[in-house]
């Protein structure tokens, strides 16, 4: 049986997923696994104009988000030769959709993405989802985090200090 890696991307974690995609590719190559990247997001609201009339309904907005997400992650995964990646977009409650996706794909390991500089609410939601998946499925759960930003550097204060350029060996 071939190894299967399910990567779950929650709404708002798209940038963290794109940044840590090389790590996901390295894990998939090490396990010789096929990858299924599932983007899970809540139902979008219809787009309204200034007067409150519906310009784009929910179905068209879901279609637009699905197309954009699939194209973005497919384009990002093309730089990794020999990596088989399937992108799926699911709409609904993240916990329920993650469990359904786990049952449907039957992975050998699951990857979650998170940004280290994310807020406490986002980190708690990722932790909670990871715990629920680990209790529900008997697979290995891996959390892929982005790198820490430069220590205490804030872009609105101007250029970073010179010592940030020094390479530490």
The C-alpha R_g of the chain, in whole angstroms, comes to 18
Joined tokens for residue 136: 């529900």
Ordered by start, the domain boundaries in the chain are: 3-165
Residue 161 has pLDDT above 60, yes or no: no
For 16-73, write each residue's pLDDT tens digit.
Answer: 889 889 889 988 888 888 999 999 999 998 888 898 898 888 999 999 999 999 999 9
Averaged pLDDT, 100-129: 84
Record the pTM: 0.79
Q: Which helix (H) or strand (E) holds 98?
A: helix 94-105
Which residues make beta-bridge pairs with 118?
A: none
Q: Considering only the top CATH level, what class is 3-165?
A: alpha beta
**Strands (DSSP E) found in 20-145:** 33-41, 47-48, 54-56, 85-91, 109-114, 140-145
d(CA 51, CA 68): 27
For 67-76, write each residue's pLDDT tens digit.
Answer: 999 999 999 9
């Amino acid at each position: 049986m071939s190894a299967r890696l399910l990567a779950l991307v929650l709404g708002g974690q798209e940038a963290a997923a794109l940044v840590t995609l090389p790590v996901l590719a390295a894990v998939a190559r090490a396990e010789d696994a096929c990858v299924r990247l599932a983007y899970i997001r809540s139902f979008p609201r219809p787009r309204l104009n200034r007067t409150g009339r519906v310009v784009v309904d929910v179905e068209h907005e879901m279609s637009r988000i699905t197309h954009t997400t699939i194209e973005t992650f497919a384009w990002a995964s093309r730089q990794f030769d020999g990596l088989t990646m399937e992108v799926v977009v699911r709409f609904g409650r993240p916990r329920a959709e993650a469990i359904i996706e786990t049952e449907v794909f039957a992975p050998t390991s699951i990857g979650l993405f998170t940004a280290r500089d994310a807020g406490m609410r986002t980190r708690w939601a990722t932790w909670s989802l990871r715990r629920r998946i680990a209790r529900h499925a008997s697979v290995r759960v891996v959390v892929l985090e982005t790198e820490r930003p430069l220590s205490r550097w804030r872009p609105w204060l101007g250029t970073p200090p010179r010592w940030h350029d020094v390479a530490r060996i």
